[in-house]
Structure 1
Amino acid sequence: MSKTASSKADRPPRLRLWASATALCFTAGAVGVFATGVATSFAADSGYSAADAARVGAVTAPTTDFSRPEPHENLAGGAGTFPGKPDAKSMSHPDATLDDPGVERFRLGFALFKKMWAQAPSSTQASDGLGPLFNARSCLSCHVSDGRGRPPEGETESQSFLFRLARTPVTDAERAALAAHEHLNFPDPVYGQQLQDQGVTGLKGEGRPVITYAEKVVTLTGGDIVPLRVPSYAITDLAYGPLDPATTLSPRIAQSLPGMGLLESIPEAAILAQADLQAKANDGVHGHPNRVRDPKTGAVVIGRFGWKAQNPTVRAQTAAALSSDIGISSPDAPDPYGDCTAAETACRKMPTGVQKRLGDTEAPDPILELLTAYTANLAVPARRDVDQPDVLAGKAMFYQAGCATCHTPKFVTARNAADPQHAFQLIWPYSDLLLHDMGEGLADGQQVGEATGREWRTAPLWGIGLAQTVNGYQAYLHDGRARTLEEAILWHGGEGERARNAYAAMEKSDRQKLLKFLGSL
């Protein structure tokens, strides 16, 4: 896997947002954002000046011209976009604007990302601490080539698929704790927040996830038939007794990683502005943020990462994955037993990998910092075929069907972003980062913070057209049930049902153009 940075001569120039007369001509959508006084909060939240806010409003306004690409549309991740060949390594390159020290931190982070953690005690003490219960031994095991995961297929297991476990609150004290953002939900009393299917030597894994599929058929305009997989979920070989009857299973596959640092750099006010616009449109789409507590600062902020937007920062997402997936403690998730509960007494008696000479956790800083630097600086691959007639026509269909309401095409990151390379960038994530009710067909019944059992964060679409190229398969939606982008669209319900129905009603040639557009992302 190549982890080399582009030469400075090959790097695209940092994007400038020109405040030309043309750029200041707002569309109705842009006026809607700034007429509500959001520009004022943008200034405080993002470091924008008043002039910046006007320019940002203009450049991020929804397009009405589908005859040609928009300026910089091919640079999906701004100036840091990876411009090279779309191959299996497309998602594994550093942000193109990183300086030399930044590239060095990226490389060190990658070494930790692929590190195989070992059961304690081991001869390499810096690698001690696996589990004792776990799903994978390394980050790379789940995020192969920094791409998306898949569910198990037939007899083939998948380390990039897991069950989250939780129950709803049952007492006033528990409900108050949720309201105060002290918890996202409540774990199974024995198996905790996640089913770990593996254990270190001498310790059984908790159980094995099982998926069975039924089939339902959708008929599209023109008579085309699309079979959809309808999954059912269970656990076999439970090692430590039964699950609590109130425990729900939420299946999850690993998400692709490029662009995470850019998503963290979108001003909070810009995300809230999208929620405000949707509420005022009163057309059945009404996304809202998941407000969560940052484990590092203790502040209640907007969640941006994870299938239910349960993690507010790249660092928080990294610490949560280290703890739940690998059983490695860090300053932001300091329990060296990971998700092992008090009821799992054999697990709690196992040795841990904490080395007091190195710190109080198994992955102390700078380990967590370097892993965060790696995942925050994976470059978004460049768009392809942006000027092709069928792609442009498919983009028009995407807008006309209402897909762009939730899959918001573009944002401009904050001037005061924590990392300079992410500052003031026009990016194209195709997500509003808000929670939406996606209907009963996709519901998992599991509350996560302010996300209900029917709500999911709008998945960013950048890079989605490279799923087959990078990972050798296609698996979409939170559990990977959709084997094609068309299947993923047809699973949309709830707030996404109108767009889904618009797609199903299109002529076949128009559907093909919309899919070609998605394939260019």
Structure 2
Amino acid sequence: MIKKGFLLATLGLVLLSCDNNDESSYIDIDLSERMYAGGETTIFSATSIAFRTPAPNLSASDLQTHLMGDTQFEAVFVTAPAAVNSGLGPIFNNSSCISCHPNDGRPNFPANLANRSGLLMRASIFGQDENGGPNPVPGFGLQIQNQAVFGFTPEARYQAAFIEKRETFADGTVVVLQKPVITLIDPYTSLPAGLMLSPRIATPVFGLGLLEAIPEQNILARQDINDTDGDGISGKANYVWDPVERRTILGRFGWKANTGTLLVQCTAAYVEDMGITNYVFSKETGHGQSNGGDGRDDDPEIQRPIVDQVVLYCQTLAVPGPRNINSKSVKEGAKLFESLECSKCHIPKQMTGPSPISALAFQTIYPYTDMLLHDMGEDLADGRPDFLASGREWKTRPLWGIGLTGLVNGHTTFLHDGRAKNLTEAILWHGGEAEKAKEKFKQLTEAKRKALLDFLNSL
């Protein structure tokens, strides 16, 4: 017969565990199931080229195209006329794809905003364009080009100030956060009233073809726009105009899921970031502006076969697999990731469907994203709507490969404007639908915080 005192003591321990929100001890997670993060496209590499390796399961013809696309991704454009890589500008942000996506990863926040970097400024004014997208700024368009070729004037230059915010953990540890406030100086013409600006840091390139191959119905099935389950997390899809198909489609790429396909993502980057016209976007970035028309009859400046090579390259980079999954700390961190409810938005598992690239079709993958928009609170808000995305909403970023950022790119800065200097700061900036998860994180002991970070760094 079990004594009454023993039962009371046991009950007390259970209640104490619940009071401390320590659910991690009874969540069973088999991380070995997630080893092949990119399905058959997975590689196991903890080197500086972990983000820029072709998927190992490519067909011979796709691999050949991938390698040609790799060369073009690294091509540095110059002012026209030139025999090779002609057509830069006349106004632009950078001169090559790889300059914004170093080693196919993410750039650091620039030390000097006057230089070319992986940071750019999206812009719009109140209202929508004819297709429901952001309303371009008269005389500036949808992106501020802060560089120009000889004889031309940039639209404006960037400058930054920083606002401090402090977060305190339950154990008294204080973290000082810094939010960059980027403004425009030296505009070539007057800036209009009501200008909305949004800084954007370029994102990693690997695994994008797999995200493009997730069936639309799978993504929509996770929507909970009205929060019918009452967990405080809604999630909604963005729908965007596709200039190739001439219709509205599901948004998948960009910080606000404001682009539907990698073809449009790549061709828009060519014209907006580098001033390189192509078969999708045939007009110069500064077309019709006093500072932006070069008057050359050389369009398109990059031919369709090259565009298609670069698109396939972006679709078929391998996904690095996780590391240290048998570590006790990593296993504990995985349980905490679930109990803090991080996984409600950073959904670990997805499935791809049919794809014209056989290597991407019908793969089980672990990108840690639901591909949906979420209200991330006022601290992260940019105040700039983008199709269905409000000024407080952002797409859930994939977490695969995030722990290799320091090795591949030499820094650990994160979030849309590069404000977070490490993963701890990135979590502490979460708000809105993620406020509850952040507050739970702040209540953890230092040892448990380390375990969670060990898990994230294993991805």
TM-score normalised to the size of structure 1? Answer: 0.81
Distance (whole Å) between structure 1 residues aligned to residue 185 and residue 99 of structure 2: 23
1:179-218 mapped onto 2 (5 Å cutoff): 182-218=131-167
- Residue deviations 1:70-98, cap 9 Å, x none? 42x111111111123x1111100001101
Q: 1:137 aligns with which of 95, 103, 115?
A: 95
1:477-492 mapped onto 2 (5 Å cutoff): 477-492=415-430
Q: 1:83 aligns with which of 40, 44, 47?
A: 44
State the Cα distance separating 1:69 from its structure 2 match. 2.0
State the Cα distance separating 1:142 from its structure 2 match. 0.5
Q: What is residue 253 of structure 1 aligned with on the other side?
A: 201
C-alpha contact (below 8 Å) 2:320/2:401 kept by paired residues: yes
Give the 3-state SS of the residue equivalent to 2:228 in structure 1: helix
State the Cα distance separating 1:314 from its structure 2 match. 1.1
Q: What is residue 312 of structure 2 aligned with on the other side?
A: 373
C-alpha contact (below 8 Å) 1:120/1:353 kept by paired residues: no
Distance (whole Å) between structure 1 residues aligned to residue 392 and residue 287 of structure 2: 28
C-alpha contact (below 8 Å) 1:278/1:405 kept by paired residues: no
Give the 3-state SS of the residue equivalent to 1:279 in structure 2: coil
Q: What is residue 294 of structure 1 aligned with on the other side?
A: 242
Q: What is residue 394 of structure 1 aligned with on the other side?
A: 333
Code of the residue aligned with 1:274 in structure 2: it is R
C-alpha contact (below 8 Å) 2:114/2:157 kept by paired residues: no
Distance 1:203-1:517 versus aligned 2 partners, 3 A rule: same
TM-score normalised to the size of structure 2? Answer: 0.91
Q: What is residue 43 of structure 1 aligned with on the other side?
A: none
Give the 3-state SS of the residue equivalent to 1:166 in structure 2: strand
Distance (whole Å) between structure 1 residues aligned to residue 455 and residue 297 of structure 2: 49
Distance 1:474-1:363 versus aligned 2 partners, 3 A rule: same
- Provide the identity percentage: 38
- Aligned-residue CA RMSD in angstroms? 1.7
Give the 3-state SS of the residue equivalent to 2:325 in structure 1: coil
Q: 1:351 aligns with which of 289, 296, 300?
A: 296
Give the 3-state SS of the residue equivalent to 1:168 in structure 2: strand
State the Cα distance separating 1:66 from its structure 2 match. 3.1
Give the 3-state SS of the residue equivalent to 1:347 in structure 2: coil
Q: 1:467 aligns with which of 402, 405, 421?
A: 405
Code of the residue aligned with 1:103 in structure 2: it is L
Q: What is residue 368 of structure 2 aligned with on the other side?
A: 430
Structure 1: gaps (5+ residues): 1-63, 355-360
Q: 1:223 aligns with which of 168, 172, 178?
A: 172
- Residue deviations 1:238-264, cap 9 Å, x none? 2x2221111111000000011000000
Distance (whole Å) between structure 2 residues aligned to residue 277 and residue 197 of structure 1: 38
Say if 2:385 is the partner of 1:447. Answer: yes
State the Cα distance separating 1:518 from its structure 2 match. 0.5
C-alpha contact (below 8 Å) 1:94/1:379 kept by paired residues: yes
Say if 2:439 is the partner of 1:501. Answer: yes
Code of the residue aligned with 1:506 in structure 2: it is L
Q: What is residue 105 of structure 2 aligned with on the other side?
A: 147
Q: What is residue 52 of structure 1 aligned with on the other side?
A: none
Give the 3-state SS of the residue equivalent to 1:348 in structure 2: coil
Distance (whole Å) between structure 2 residues aligned to residue 232 and residue 65 of structure 1: 41
Give the 3-state SS of the residue equivalent to 2:379 in structure 1: helix
C-alpha contact (below 8 Å) 2:42/2:321 kept by paired residues: yes
- Structure that is richer in strand per residue: 2
Code of the residue aligned with 1:81 in structure 2: it is T
1:310-349 mapped onto 2 (5 Å cutoff): 310-335=258-283, 337=284, 339-342=285-288, 344-349=289-294
Distance (whole Å) between structure 2 residues aligned to residue 481 and residue 167 of structure 1: 24
Q: What is residue 384 of structure 1 aligned with on the other side?
A: 323
- Residue deviations 1:95-124, cap 9 Å, x none? 110122111101100111111112112233
Distance (whole Å) between structure 1 residues aligned to residue 226 and residue 344 of structure 2: 8
Q: What is residue 29 of structure 1 aligned with on the other side?
A: none
Distance (whole Å) between structure 2 residues aligned to residue 488 and residue 74 of structure 1: 25
Q: Which moves more between the two structures, 278-287 or 468-477?
A: 278-287
Code of the residue aligned with 1:517 in structure 2: it is F
Q: Which moves more between the two structures, 151-160 or 405-414?
A: 151-160
Code of the residue aligned with 2:40 in structure 1: it is A
C-alpha contact (below 8 Å) 1:285/1:495 kept by paired residues: yes
Q: What is residue 244 of structure 1 aligned with on the other side?
A: 192
Q: 1:118 aligns with which of 78, 85, 100?
A: 78
Distance (whole Å) between structure 1 residues aligned to residue 441 and residue 371 of structure 2: 22
C-alpha contact (below 8 Å) 2:267/2:281 kept by paired residues: yes
Distance (whole Å) between structure 2 residues aligned to residue 154 and residue 134 of structure 1: 17
Q: Which moves more between the two structures, 426-435 or 274-283?
A: 274-283
Q: What is residue 96 of structure 1 aligned with on the other side?
A: 56
Code of the residue aligned with 2:100 in structure 1: it is C
1:26-65 mapped onto 2 (5 Å cutoff): 65=27
Distance (whole Å) between structure 1 residues aligned to residue 297 and residue 449 of structure 2: 54
Distance (whole Å) between structure 2 residues aligned to residue 506 and residue 318 of structure 1: 41
Structure 2: gaps (5+ residues): 1-25
C-alpha contact (below 8 Å) 2:153/2:291 kept by paired residues: no
Distance (whole Å) between structure 2 residues aligned to residue 385 and residue 394 of structure 1: 12
Give the 3-state SS of the residue equivalent to 1:280 in structure 2: coil
